[in-house]
Amino acid sequence: MKSWLHVLWVTFTLRCPNCEQGKIFTGLFRMNKTCPVCGVRFEREDGESVGGMYINLGLAELTTVGGFFLADALWHPPFEPHLIFWVIYNVLFIVLFYNRSRAMWVGISYLTGGVRPDPPTA
């Protein structure tokens, strides 16, 4: 049994949690339905990507709010440029971290038994 930390790291690097070789994504937003190496299906039902969105939004808000208050306490920048910077940061973080968070959710689903190869068909 693989450790949960190892599985999350493998999926954070956008590789299949089952074989650790196949790529989960073919681009920034395009996710493979199955692993090109071992054939494991990454999502079984519609709506399974919601968990990845929770990870993405949670980390974005945590780093944005924390960074805003930390920078404000340390350097006291003018409010408007400070706010504009953190809004832009938040949008860029959400867009650029999308595939990582979604892949990490695939890893969590793998750990709970939701990601597995399909049974052979006769």
Structural domain total, the chain: 1
What is the tens place of the pLDDT at every residue in 47-97?
A: 888 999 999 999 999 999 999 999 999 999 999 999 999 999 999 999 999
Q: State the pTM of this model.
A: 0.87
Range of the domain at 83: 4-111
Percent of the chain with pLDDT over 90: 82
17 pLDDT band (50/70/90 cuts)?
A: very high
pLDDT surpassing 70 at residue 25: yes
**Would residue 69 count as lying in a domain?**
yes
At residue 21, the pLDDT reads 96
Residue 71 within a domain? yes
Query: Does a structural domain hold residue 122?
Result: no
Q: At what angle do helices 4-12 and 98-111 cross, to 10 degrees?
A: 150
Residue 66, domain member (yes or no): yes
Does residue 116 fall inside a structural domain? no
